[in-house]
Chains A and B, each alone.
Chain A
Amino acid sequence: MNKLTISILLSLLLLLSCSQEEEFGPSIFDVEDHLVEGSASYEFDTWLRQAYLVPYNLDFRYRMEDVGSDMDYNLVPTSFNKARQMAQLVKYLWFDVYGTVVSPEFLKENGPRIIHLIGSPAYNPISGTMLLGTAEGGLKVTLFRCNELDPTDVDLLNEYYFKTMHHEFAHILHQKRNYPVEFGLISQGKYNPLGWQYKTDSEAATLGFVSPYAGSQNREDFVEIIANYLVKSDTQWSDILALASQPGIDMYGDTIPDDGINGRAIILQKLEMAKKWLKESWEIEIDSLRAEIIRRQLNINEVLN
């Protein structure tokens, strides 16, 4: 072997050592069973592994990690019992719904990879608001206020948790496939990112928003339409439309002068646009999804043990 050959072989060796990159496996988490039998959380951790980690490649984090949240907020963890209830409800009212109505693979491919539970709300004392959930980069959903979970109150469950989950998941979906640009034009000029919290439900509805927060910016408007439509009963949805048809009442109880906006028509127009986008972009029939959610809401006690 001459000098040239040796040199080239050495060089190739060096190059090889640099080019042997790790290939992505099927999971970003270690799905091996490392749970310690006899640990205080063994039973629950085993259930989480079987319910979330193995099938969905999802890390359900109920032990609070402050580094996994916004350190500017003062927060507390979720209680163990509330975390157990929440994990069961999230599976029943979210993951199993999509698995049944859309496809078993849908959330495996498009669902979040981390769900992080926080016990308290994330208060913003300056604006007087509180954060109920966040979705980060299509990967992580954080749910706040979990210590207030009351499985017997479906309306509160929807308001504080499941509407939030569908809201955050809709964000994940539109971060993957954009919603129509035209949606943002419907209420253009009516969004108020800093003052939305001072609007009443009535005021928001007359402007064509399903909630005050929907009036903060158009991407929130888009996901609020989806989330509210999914979790609200027919009566509750009709109430929103009825509110949108009446003169608005502001926070002082005063009637707002008619500005010619047909809030009801706008909400329905937005809903149709969201339905079409879900169907065309994701092959999701929102009405089927909604029917399944509402059916399951009546049977919540069956899943809690």
Chain B
Amino acid sequence: MKTSTYIVNIVVFVLLGLIPACKNEEADIFLASPAERLNKAISDYQNILTNAENGWEMDYFANQMSPGYTLLVKLNKSGNAILSARSELTTNGAYEQDSCLFDIIGDNGPVLTFNTFSKILHVFSNPENPDGYGLEGDYEFVIVKAHPDTVWMKGKKYGAEVLLRKMPSDVQWKQLADERSEFKTLLFSEKAPELKMVVNKKTYTFSLGYSGVFLAKGSGVNALTLDVPFIVTHDGIRFYQEVEIEGVKFKAFRLNDAKSGLVSVESPEHTLTGVNDLAIFIRDDAETVWDIFPAGLSSTLDQSYKAILQSAQTLYGADSASFSLKYNTIRGSFVLAFSYTVGTTTTEGLLDLNVTAGNKDMLTVSYKGTGDAKGLQFYNDVEGLDDFVSAISSAFALSTAAKINPKEIKFTKATNQQVYFAIKPR
């Protein structure tokens, strides 16, 4: 074979080898390239997100074990985002609003990133308290799915599901944030009793609701114990994830009309119940100190209280005086505690009370005629104290704003509704 023919053959074989390598391709599954599809998704999501004229209500969970917070977000076509919130994380728990820049980038799929600082959002990601960790929340969200009214997202680093719901055009942001915050305060407080739910005849307690993460416990040694993060919604709460107890699935709850419990949306026969009977609740609570506060007194009792204060000032040089109801384990009795303060020194005297629960929310209080030495001395010396004790020695109808979280309980005299006082836990 001549050298030239040899070279020709090699070149032709090489070129022939290239042709089938190009021909044997899989048929395209998608009409466009991955980059084109990503760009289209970004453009579509950009339109949806910036088309909400009154912005979005964001159900924000920093991570999968964190409480939920309501944030309000408006994404403008200019790339500016306005955010607002009212929660324990905002300054003095007041309504706050600020702005930052946002972008939708092609990262792990289309990602909504808030890439300059907003104190409303980035408080969840700020690595302080404890240093290095903070609340371990996301400010970048992979967009999972988007409809014109709802956008489903997932935190990029910590993976919590975050929901955006389009705000109706007539809703005022501050009003919504204030109402949500007040509703949360109505439902939960640090001193609220734990909630109970009976499922298949087994009672489960849900405590620590004020933290935004319930500690759910069954009874018995090997009972189920769960941490259940949730968010307060406009009419109740929603668990971060569906929770199954005794084979029943729970996720959303609504506050009932009596404001005594949260009724399961998925299984309405089940309710997270607060206090059923206020009289029994007080009678059986041996730990709480209930302050009788001046603003809750009827005019008759207020006059009596002022006379008592004046007398204490005259007798002891008191700067202030106060009453409380509590159970005293040493005396084995409920007591009315009267105390006065001079400077930083407080002196207290106790008068023993009988406390009896009658019909639902009916409590009868009566003075036993006994007390500790100080209590009896005050009873005899302080002008008006005997009248005050006499006035609260009666049958009372108890009421509160929400039995699910009785922060203040009003005692109205059964025989005279013009006589009342109110207590709140110290």
Could you mark each residue 107-129 of chain B with 1 if its beta carbon is under 8 Å from any beta carbon of chain A, else 0? 10000001111100010011110
A112-130 residues with Cβ-Cβ distance < 8 A to B are: 119-125, 130
CA distance A278 to B114 in the complex (A): 42
B173 within 8 A of A: no
Contact (Cβ within 8 A) A80 B125:
no
Contact indicator B133/A77 (Cβ below 8 Å) = no
Q: Which residues of A contact B103 (CB under 8 A)?
A: 63
CB of B74, distance to nearest CB on chain A (Å):
12
Smallest CB separation, A85 vs chain B (Å): 13
Name the A residues within 8 Å of B15 (CB-CB).
10
Choose among B11, B78, B128 the residue with the greatest number of A CB atoms under 10 Å from its CB. Answer: B11
Please encode chain B, from 73 to 117, with 1 for each CB lying within 8 Å of some chain A CB and 0 for all others: 000101110000000000000000000110100010000001111
Are the C-beta atoms of B78 and A77 separated by less than 8 Å?
no
Would B12 and A125 count as touching, CB distance under 8 A? Answer: no
Say yes or no: A73 contacts B127, CB within 8 Å. Answer: yes
In the docked arrangement, what's the CA distance between A121 and B129, Å?
13
Q: Which of B11, B79, B114, B117 contacts A7 (CB 8 A)?
A: B11
> Is A54 positioned at the interface, with any CB of B under 8 Å from its CB?
no
C-alpha gap A63/B139 in the complex (Å) = 12
Q: A38 to B131, Cβ gap below 8 A?
A: no
List residues of A (30-84) whose CB comes within 8 Å of B's CBs: 38-41, 62-67, 71, 73-80, 82-83
Q: CB-nearest residue of chain B relative to A4? A: B4
Residue interface mask B399-412, A partner, CB < 8 A = 1: 00000000000000
Whether B117 pairs with A147 at a CB distance below 8 angstroms is yes
A41 touches B101 (CB 8 A): yes
CB distance from A122 to the nearest CB of B (A): 8
- CB contacts (< 8 Å) of A119 on chain B: these are 117, 122
Judging by beta carbons under 8 Å apart, are B139 and A74 in contact?
A: no
How many Å lie between the Cα of A83 and that of B157 in the bound state?
24
**B101: which A residues are within 8 A, CB to CB?**
40-41, 63, 80
Q: Is the CB of B131 within 8 A of A76?
A: no
A75–B132 Cα distance when bound, in Å, is 9
Question: Counting CB contacts under 8 A, is A269 at the interface?
Answer: no
A27 contacts across to B, CB distance below 8 A: none
The answer to whether B117 touches A77, judged by C-beta atoms less than 8 angstroms apart, is: yes
Q: Which of B12, B80, B139 contacts A77 (CB 8 A)?
A: B139
Task: Indicate if B134 sits at the interface (CB-CB under 8 A).
Answer: yes
A77 near B127: Cβ-Cβ < 8 Å: no
Are the CB atoms of A123 and B127 closer together than 8 Å? Answer: yes
- List B contacts of A73 (CB < 8 A): 127, 132
Residues of A within 8 A of B100 (CB): 77, 79-80
**Main SS class of interface, A:** loop
- Nearest CB on B from A197, distance (A): 13
- Min distance, Cβ A47 to any Cβ of chain B, angstroms: 15
- Could you say which residues of chain A place their CB within 8 Å of the CB of B126? 76, 120
> A233-262 interface mask toward B, CB cutoff 8 Å, 1 = contact, 0 = none?
000000000000000000000000000000
Residues of B within 8 A of A78 (CB): 116-117
Are B79 and A39 closer than 8 Å at their CB atoms?
yes
**B348 at interface (Cβ–Cβ under 8 A)?**
no
CB-nearest residue of chain A to B125: A76
Q: How far is the CB of B114 from chain A (nearest CB, A)?
A: 7
Distance in angstroms between the alpha carbons of A124 and B115 in the assembled complex: 22
Complex Cα distance A123/B131, Å?
Answer: 6
Listed residue (A8, A66, A125) with the most chain B CB atoms within 10 angstroms of its CB: A66
User: Is the CB of B29 closer than 8 A to any CB of chain A?
Assistant: no
Is B194 positioned at the interface, with any CB of A under 8 Å from its CB? no
Q: Which chain A residues border B125 with CB–CB below 8 Å? A: 74-76
Partner pick for B132 among A3, A76, A123, CB 8 A cutoff: A123
What chain A residues lie within 8 Å of B76 (beta carbons)?
A: 40
Q: Is B8 an interface residue (CB 8 A)?
A: yes
Whether a CB of chain B sits under 8 angstroms from the CB of A11 is yes
Residue of B nearest to A75 (CB): B127
Binary flags per residue of A128-153, CB closer than 8 Å to B gives 1, else 0: 00100000000000000001000000
B103's nearest neighbour on chain A, judged by CB, is A63
Q: Does B59 contact A (CB under 8 A)?
A: no
Collect the chain B residues with CB atoms within 8 Å of residue A67's CB.
Answer: 107
Rounded to whole Å, the gap between the CB of A239 and the closest CB of chain B is 29
Shortest distance from the beta carbon of B134 to any chain A beta carbon, whole Å: 6
Contact indicator B79/A74 (Cβ below 8 Å): no
Cβ contact of B78, chosen from A11, A39, A121, cutoff 8 A: A39
Interface check B295, CB cutoff 8 A: no
Cβ contacts B35-56/A at 8 Å (1 or 0 each): 0000000000000000000000
Which residue of B12, B115, B136 contacts A64 across the interface (Cβ within 8 Å)? B115
Instruction: Type the 1/0 row for A87-130, where 1 means its CB is closer than 8 Å to any CB of B.
Output: 00000000000000000000000000000000111111100001
Closest residue to A62 on the B side, CB-wise?
B116
User: Once bound together, how far apart are the Cα atoms of A82 and B101, in whole Å?
Assistant: 13
Q: Contact check, B7 vs A4: say whether CB atoms are below 8 A apart.
A: yes
Counting CB contacts under 8 A, is B140 at the interface? yes
B220 within 8 A of A: no
In the complex, whether B130 has a CB less than 8 A from a CB of chain A is yes
Q: List 28 contacting pairs A-B, 8 Å CB cutoff, sorted by A.
A: A3-B8, A7-B8, A11-B11, A38-B78, A40-B79, A40-B101, A41-B79, A63-B101, A63-B116, A64-B115, A66-B140, A66-B156, A74-B125, A76-B127, A77-B114, A77-B116, A77-B117, A77-B122, A77-B139, A79-B100, A80-B101, A80-B116, A120-B126, A120-B128, A121-B127, A123-B132, A124-B132, A125-B132
Known: A4-B8, A75-B127, A120-B127. 16 other contacts (CB 8 A): A7-B7, A38-B78, A41-B79, A41-B101, A62-B116, A63-B103, A74-B134, A74-B136, A79-B100, A79-B117, A80-B101, A120-B128, A123-B131, A123-B132, A124-B132, A125-B132
In the complex, the 3 A-B pairs of residues with the closest C-beta atoms, listed nearest first: A125-B132, A40-B80, A123-B132
Chain B residues in the interface with A (C-beta under 8 A): 4, 7-8, 11-12, 15, 76, 78-80, 100-101, 103, 107, 114-118, 122, 125-128, 130-134, 136, 139-140, 156-157
